Amino acid sequence: MKTVDLIRGETFHGRKGAVANAFRYTVDYLLLDPDQSIGPKLFSRNRANLTAIHDIDFGGPKGQGRGTAWVRQVLADHGLPGTEKILLLGQPRVLGHVFNPVSFWLCHDAAGALRVVIAEVSNTYGDRHSYLCHRDDLAPIVRTDTITATKLFYVSPFQPVEGRYAFRFDLREDRIGIWIDYSTETGGLFTNLIGPRVPLTNLGIVRACLRRPFGSRRVLALIHWQALKLALKGVTFRNRPEPPAQDVSR
């Protein structure tokens, strides 16, 4: 069995355009093979615990996840490689609660090269959409690659649905780095997730819960706090449209 890794991450969000707004906060992610990894006693898969990963939280529509079975189906439907080793990078449930603004499926070939990344994006309205990230020539993804995708999904009421994402991935044995640059004709947003990668232990779980005792509830609170600041700055509020007809796009 494989071990679970803890990413003691830091994320930065910086708004581009006429109204400036930026913030930085820490967040805990787990990196694991959902089908083969085994963690310490305070971590479980598909079972209640202090921290846990549940299949229904990842891989498909929100609350209807199918885990790696969904990932393999998506790759097959689009004729993509990467089914030999599939890792999940996402926030766990903490005392039963979870909210992932974005989680990532990291799809590798038999040689261990990263071939496809599926970015699962969720909003606070209960919607989810996934973006397929890969090179046009389907070669392995390396840290110098920039992979683009058309934005189709409503994430924030203070940003339009239109625009382009530019993704960069730097995934090492000791560190994770992911950068997302969202651009529109008038602005956009830059965000990242960076942090060291260490084995998950019971002590690490306890320390993470003491540092951030409310888990993803804290993330939701921070999202709403930043939304209030943007509203007070007079940024236009856009009503939520219907989600895209398709669950996955490039």
pLDDT tens for each residue of 77-122? 999 999 999 999 999 999 999 999 999 999 999 999 999 999 999 9
**What is the pTM (predicted TM-score) of this model?**
0.95
pLDDT, residue 1, reads 58
Give the number of other CB atoms < 10 A from CB of residue 229.
Answer: 13
Of 15-24, 76-85, 177-186, 211-220, minimum mean pLDDT range? 211-220
Q: What angle do CA 146, 75, 33 make, to 5 degrees?
A: 85
pLDDT of residue 224: 85
For residue 146, what pLDDT is reported? 98
Cβ count within 10 A of residue 151: 21
* Residue 213: band (very low, low, confident or very high) from pLDDT cuts 50, 70, 90: confident
Q: Nearest Cα to 52, choosing from 34, 26, 68?
A: 34
Cα 148 from Cα 185, distance rounded (Å)? 16
CA distance 185 to 121: 22
